Structure 1
Amino acid sequence: MAFYNYIFVFVVFFLMNGGIMKPVVAQQIATKDDDILKTVLQELKVIKNELNNCKSSNSKLQDEVKRLKDEIDRLHVKHRIQLKMITEQKRDNKDTPSCYNTQSPSRVAFTAYLDHHMTHLGDNQAIVYNKILLNAGEAYNIHNGMFTAPISGVYIFSWSCTARRTGSSFDIWVTLVVNSATQTTAVAESQSTYYDHQGSSTVIIHVNKGDIVWTKRLSSGGAEIHSETERRVSSFTGALLSSDASLT
């Protein structure tokens, strides 16, 4: 019995003094270190992914900033072109003798229409109605689509635009402009393929002698306007209702 007690005491002493305990403890420490290492590696992976996402977002932001800058530059160019067109038109009116430069015309009225489908219109580009039904007073220019008021007074202007869908949903917005000031807008939107939809608008406004009245494609809409030689569905009309001279 004493022998067995001795064996039991020896085993306990051996276990308590590192015989088998040390490897067990070392294994536990190693396992704990592995867990910590795995956690750190996972956190580093998350940080790396976040950095990559930040780089991607920053690149997209830079691209968007560049796109907006290009758009602003393009709009500035369009604006300068429009101002140049208006200035040139006023200079032509001043330099070229005509019935409405030398005397007040008895009648001022015009109707012009577009005889073809126009595509790839620029933002705020002037719509040039290239065919004339009437041009009393010769104040409408078929080359640039601009009407120059030969006399101050109250005028009526009406214009129509037609959209024809050939692919995706399509719309066209056409705005009346006096010099560079927007008046009102007509819109047409075609929802079905090869279906035409016409929009129109009419205004009665006071215009001063020498003011330029024209229509332009609004940048928020599509870049096409539909018309045909026989079906003259996009047009521009204006007429003097009463001159300022008649009111004095």
Structure 2
Amino acid sequence: MVPNMNILSELIFIKARMSVMEGEIAELRSLNREQATQLEILNASHCRMEDLLSTNKDIRVAFSAFLLNPVGPTNVGPFDSTTTLVYKHVFLNIGEAYNPNTGIFTAPLKGAYVFRVFSKAIGHSGNSVTAGLFKNGRHMFSTHAHLSAGFYSSSNGATLPLEKGDTVSVRLYAGAWIFDNGEHHHSSFSGHLLFPL
């Protein structure tokens, strides 16, 4: 019996088509393995991102403190040497990073922090209000004003990168003084975490 030519050509066509399909299946299997690896990487990244978001959501650091507790108007200083100012009247201390007993802010985590210092004084021919913000004992910026009479004030601020445990404080320079009124709170030190690094 002689094979039918149509059947032979169909078999050849089917064999060629199967060969093409086997190649496509091999390519799809390889692509599937690559995508599975990429999916594992994406899932791990997603889990890490969720962990970071959860951690950062709970991190809140902000404080605002005034020089004096509710008492009448008072001058602090002048001192013979540069002296750390202790802002005793704490208005806000989220995260408890500011210590009202020492006047020192201690960074609870690595991040970018914003600090502001407002200083007021009563004019006197021999004194000025000159206070500096210090990071780990190193001068960062100052507030300064001087008038021979009347009230005068000065302010300054900066965003600083801090490592966990870094300290920030305000110091009154030797010979300078600062004024506050416990009722109106003219002189203040404040800061907050802008974002973790």
- TM-score w.r.t. the length of structure 2 is 0.65
Could you tell me which residue of structure 1 aligns to residue 167 of structure 2? 212
Following TM superposition, by how much is the alpha carbon of 1:181 offset from its aligned partner in structure 2, in angstroms? 1.1
- Is 1:189 matched up with 2:146? yes
CA shift digits 1:2-43 (9 cap, x unpaired): xxxxxxxxxxxxxxxxxxxxxxxxxxxxxxxxxxxxxxxxxx
Change beyond 3 A, Cα 1:112–1:209: same
1:122-201 mapped onto 2 (5 Å cutoff): 122-165=80-123, 167-192=124-149, 195-201=150-156
- Say which one has the larger Rg: 1
Between the aligned partners of 2:184 and 2:153, the Cα distance in structure 1 is: 12
Deviation at 1:169, TM superposition (A): 4.0
CA distances 1:160-210 after superposition (whole Å, capped 9, x unpaired): 111212x53420211100111110111121321xx1100000101101100
By percentage of residues, which structure has more strand?
Answer: 2
Partners in 2 of 1:204 and 1:196 — Cα distance?
Answer: 28
CA contact (8 A) 1:178 1:213 kept: yes
CA deviation after TM superposition for structure 1 residue 139, in Å: 0.6
Tell which has more relative contact order, 1 or 2 (C-alpha 8 A, sep 6+). 2
The aligned runs of 1:1-248 (5 Å cut-off) are 106-115=59-68, 116-165=74-123, 167-192=124-149, 195-219=150-174, 222-244=175-197
Identity of aligned residues (%): 31
Number of residue equivalences: 137
Cα distance, 1:217 vs structure 2: 1.3
SS state at 1:232 partner: coil
Structure showing the higher helix proportion among its residues: 1
> Conserved in 2, the CA contact under 8 Å of 1:149 and 1:208?
yes
State the shift of 1:122 in Å: 3.7
Unaligned runs of 5+ in 2: 1-54, 69-73
CA contact (8 A) 1:113 1:129 kept: yes
Q: Give deviations 1:83-104, integer Å, cap 9, x for gaps.
A: xxxxxxxxxxxxxxxxxxxx87
Q: Which runs of 5+ in 1 are unaligned?
A: 1-102
1:190 counterpart SS class: coil
